[in-house]
Structure 1
C-alpha cells in the first residue's frame, strides 16, 4: 500500500488536525484510508480512528525495530496510508518521524504554521529539505500543508514562493472549532472530544487529494515474523474509559494466539472466566471512584492470590496497587494485589523510551531478557519496603530506584508500555 508521512516543523504545529483533514478529504474522494502514527502515542490514533473508521497503526523504531515497523505497516488495509509524525520531523533519539520515514522509505509532507508567513513558509520547507542532505539523512520532503493559512493572497503567496520539487498540497484554515481540547497526557480521546464534523469537512475542501495520492509510494517488503502456535488460553482484556491505551497490534496478537474476551470494569462488568488478565494503560485516575466500587477489581484480587497471571501496564499497574490518590487529594482503594500506593501529580513524572532487563523469568520476558517500551505518566509510587521487582531499568525512570515491574503471585505491573513486536505478549500467552 502506498503511503506518506505528515511531519511537523515542531510539536504543536497542528499535525493531528492536518492529518484528520487529509483523512476526511481522501475518504470523501472515495479512497479507503489507513491512518498510522509515528511514535508510541495512544491518543492521536483515537482521533484517526474516529474519522477513518479503522484502527490507526503504531510505528515506532524503538518499540518495534525497522522489521517490526514494516511488518506492522504491511498489516494495514486500504488504498493509501497517512502516517502522522511525532514532535518535529527530526526530533527524538529513540524514534523520530524522520527515522520512521527512512525505515519505510516514504515521502514526507511538511506541516508548517503559516499563520504569519508566506515566503518564510517556503524558507522553512527548504531548510528542512536541505538539512536532510547535510545531516546524511535519507528524507524526501515532497510537499507542504499550510496550517492556519487563509485563502486568497495568503495562499497564493505561499504557492509562488515554494521551491521546485515541493508541492503545495493544501491549507488548514484558522478556525477555533478545529482545536482539540487537552489535559494531562495530551489531547482528549477521539471518542470524547472529536473535531466538529462540519468544521473538518470544510477544512478538507482545501486539500489536494489527487496530488497526495500521486506523491505516495510503497515501502520495502516486510520480513516474515516467526510462527508461534495458537493456544486454547482465554485472556480477559480490560477495555473502557479507564483502560483505553492498548495498541491495536497487541490485541491482534493476543487474538492470533489465544481466545480474547473484553470487559469494562468501570461499567460494572465482573472479571470473565479466564486464564490470564491484561490491564492496559489509560485514565484510572479519572475513574477512580468507579474502579473502587468495581467487582472486577475485587475478583482480580481474589484470583491473583490464587495464582491467576495478571499483567498491568501503567494505568493497569495503578489499578493493581493498594490505593490511588487523585490530584484533589481523594484516595480510593484499588485491587490491592501489588504492594504500592499511587498518587497523581501536577507534572509528569516520566516521559521517555525505556529499556528494561529482566532479573528473573517474568510474564513478559525470560531471565536477562530485554524489553523496549515507552513510559509517560503523571503518577508516583510509594512502594512497600518488601516489594519485589522484575526489571532493572537501563533507560528510563521505572517505578523506583532504577527498577520496574512490581511482582506478586503471578501478577506483573509496570509503568512501561510494550509492543507485541518485541515478544512480550507472546511471553505472556506462553506463561498461561
Structure 2
C-alpha cells in the first residue's frame, strides 16, 4: 500500500483539515483510501474515519516499536494511505512525525500556514527539508500544502517561490466552514463536529491529487520474521471468553487495533452505559477512556455502573483506562464543583481541572502480576488528562512509573479485587490485552 505523510510546521497549523481534504480528493479518484495517525491520538482519527469510511490506523514508535508500527501500517486496507502527523514535524522525543515517516520510508508533505505569507512559506518548507539533511535524519520532505491560502496572486506567489526540489500540492482555502470546534483534550469528535461534505469537496478541488499519487511510496517489504504477528500475540490461541467493551460518548477513546486484538482472542460485546444499557453477561470488562466528565450525571444514574460495582466485588476482571479509571473511582467532581457518585470499585476521588495535569508517553513496570502484565515486565502507553485523583490511604498500585506521571507519587494501576484502573492508555503491541484475556 502506497502512502504519504502530512506533517506540520507546528501544532494547530491545520493538519487535520488538510488530511480530511486529501482523503476526500483521493476518494474522488476512485482509490480506496486508508487513513492513519502518527502519535497516540484518539480524536483526529474519528474525523478520518467519518470521511474515509474505515478506521484510522495508529502509528507510534513508542507504543508499538518500529516493527509494530510497520505491522500496523500493513494491516491497513486500501490502495493509498494518508498519515496525519502529530505536532510539528520533528517534535516529540519518543515518537515524532519524522520518526514515523522514517520507519516507513514515506515522503512527507509539509502543511504550512500561509495566512500571512507567500515567499516565506517556501523558505519555511526549505528550512524543514534542510534541517533533515543537516541533522542526518533520513526523511524526505517533498513539498507543501498551503493552509489558509487564497487563490490568485497569493497562491502564485507561494508556488513560484518554491525551489525545484519542493512540489506545490495545492492549498486549503481560508473559510470558517473548514474549522473544527475544540475543547479540552483537543478537537470535538468526528461525529460531534464534522466538516460538511460540501466544504470538503470544495477544498479538495484545490489540491493536486495526481501529484500526490505520483510521489506516494510503498514501504519496503519486510522479511518473513518481522512481517509476522507481534511477539506479544504469537502462540496465543483464541479463547471462549467474552469481553464487554463500553462504547458511547463517555467511553470513546480506543485504538482500532485494541478491538481487533480482543476479537482475535475472545468474543467482544459492546454496551453503552450512558444510554441505559445493562452490563452484558461477560467474563471481563474493558472501560476505555473518553469524556466521563461530560456525561457525569448519566453515568451516576447508570444501572450498568451499579452492576459493575457488584461484579467488581465478586472478582470480575475489569480494566479501566483514564476515563475508565474515573468511572471506577468513588466520585467525580467536575470543574463547576458538582460531585457525582461513580462505581466505587477503586479507592479514589477524582477532580477535573481547567488545565491538563499530565501529557506524555508513559512506561510502567509491574510490581507483581497484574491484569495487563506479569511481575517485573513493562508496558508502554500514553497519558493525557485534565483530572487528578486523591487516593485512599490503603490504596494499592500495580505499577511503578518509569516514565510519565501516573496516578499518585510515581505509581499507576490502582487495583482492588481484580479491578485495575490506570491513567495510562496502552496499545495491544505491548501485550497488555493478551495478558488481560488470559487472566479471565
TM-score range, shorter chain: over 0.9
Question: Conserved in 2, the CA contact under 8 Å of 1:240 and 1:265?
Answer: yes
The equivalent residue for 1:383 is: 391
The equivalent residue for 2:339 is: 331
2:304 aligned with 1:293, yes or no? no
The equivalent residue for 2:178 is: 178
Find the residue that maps to 1:237 and give its secondary structure: strand
In the TM superposition, residue 247 of structure 1 has moved relative to its aligned partner by 0.3
2:105 aligned with 1:105, yes or no? yes
The equivalent residue for 1:419 is: 427
In the TM superposition, residue 115 of structure 1 has moved relative to its aligned partner by 1.0
Q: For residues 248 and 407 of structure 1, what CA distance do their matches in structure 2 show?
A: 26
In the TM superposition, residue 159 of structure 1 has moved relative to its aligned partner by 1.2
Provide Cα deviations, 1:280-319, integer angstroms capped at 9, x if missing partner: 0000000010001111111111111111000000000000
The equivalent residue for 1:402 is: 410
Question: Conserved in 2, the CA contact under 8 Å of 1:310 and 1:412?
Answer: yes
> Which sections of structure 2, spanning at least 5 residues, go unmatched?
none
> Within 5 A, what are the aligned runs for 1:83-98?
83-98=83-98
Q: For residues 396 and 429 of structure 2, what CA distance do their matches in structure 1 show?
A: 27
Q: For residues 4 and 430 of structure 2, what CA distance do their matches in structure 1 show?
A: 25
Question: Conserved in 2, the CA contact under 8 Å of 1:40 and 1:374?
Answer: yes
Q: For residues 104 and 65 of structure 2, what CA distance do their matches in structure 1 show?
A: 11
Question: Conserved in 2, the CA contact under 8 Å of 1:70 and 1:221?
Answer: no
Provide Cα deviations, 1:50-97, integer angstroms capped at 9, x if missing partner: 111110000000000000000000100011000000000000001000
Q: For residues 104 and 424 of structure 1, what CA distance do their matches in structure 2 show?
A: 25
Provide Cα deviations, 1:86-124, integer angstroms capped at 9, x if missing partner: 000000001000000011111000000011111111111
Q: For residues 99 and 287 of structure 2, what CA distance do their matches in structure 1 show?
A: 30
The equivalent residue for 1:149 is: 149
The equivalent residue for 1:282 is: 290
2:41 aligned with 1:41, yes or no? yes
The equivalent residue for 1:130 is: 130
The equivalent residue for 2:4 is: 4
Question: Conserved in 2, the CA contact under 8 Å of 1:70 and 1:220?
Answer: no
Q: For residues 90 and 206 of structure 1, what CA distance do their matches in structure 2 show?
A: 27
Query: Could you tell me the TM-score, scaled by structure 1's length?
Result: 0.99
Q: For residues 400 and 431 of structure 2, what CA distance do their matches in structure 1 show?
A: 18
In the TM superposition, residue 156 of structure 1 has moved relative to its aligned partner by 1.1
Provide Cα deviations, 1:238-288, integer angstroms capped at 9, x if missing partner: 000000001000000000010000000000001000000000000000001
Q: For residues 31 and 161 of structure 2, what CA distance do their matches in structure 1 show?
A: 30
Find the residue that maps to 2:103 and give its secondary structure: helix
Provide Cα deviations, 1:157-184, integer angstroms capped at 9, x if missing partner: 1111111121111100000111100000
> Within 5 A, what are the aligned runs for 1:155-234?
155-222=155-222, 223=226, 224-225=228-229, 226-234=234-242
In the TM superposition, residue 220 of structure 1 has moved relative to its aligned partner by 2.5
The equivalent residue for 2:439 is: 431
2:276 aligned with 1:268, yes or no? yes
Which stretches of structure 1, 4 residues or longer, exceed 3 Å deviation after superposition?
A: none
The equivalent residue for 1:350 is: 358
Q: For residues 428 and 293 of structure 2, what CA distance do their matches in structure 1 show?
A: 26
> Which sections of structure 1, spanning at least 5 residues, go unmatched?
none
Q: For residues 26 and 217 of structure 2, what CA distance do their matches in structure 1 show?
A: 16
Q: For residues 256 and 200 of structure 2, what CA distance do their matches in structure 1 show?
A: 25
The equivalent residue for 2:121 is: 121
In the TM superposition, residue 153 of structure 1 has moved relative to its aligned partner by 1.0
What is the aligned-residue RMSD (CA, Å)? 0.7
In the TM superposition, residue 376 of structure 1 has moved relative to its aligned partner by 0.2
Query: Could you tell me the TM-score, scaled by structure 2's length?
Result: 0.97
Equivalenced residue count is 432
In the TM superposition, residue 221 of structure 1 has moved relative to its aligned partner by 3.1
Q: For residues 72 and 221 of structure 1, what CA distance do their matches in structure 2 show?
A: 14
Q: For residues 260 and 402 of structure 2, what CA distance do their matches in structure 1 show?
A: 29
Question: Conserved in 2, the CA contact under 8 Å of 1:59 and 1:72?
Answer: yes
Find the residue that maps to 2:198 and give its secondary structure: helix
Q: Greater CA deviation, 64-73 or 216-225? A: 216-225
The equivalent residue for 2:18 is: 18
Question: Conserved in 2, the CA contact under 8 Å of 1:146 and 1:172?
Answer: yes
Find the residue that maps to 2:65 and give its secondary structure: helix
Q: 1:245 aligns with which of 240, 253, 258?
A: 253
Question: Conserved in 2, the CA contact under 8 Å of 1:146 and 1:170?
Answer: yes
Q: For residues 74 and 155 of structure 2, what CA distance do their matches in structure 1 show?
A: 36
Q: 2:348 aligns with which of 340, 347, 350?
A: 340
Find the residue that maps to 1:281 and give its secondary structure: coil
Q: For residues 221 and 327 of structure 1, what CA distance do their matches in structure 2 show?
A: 50
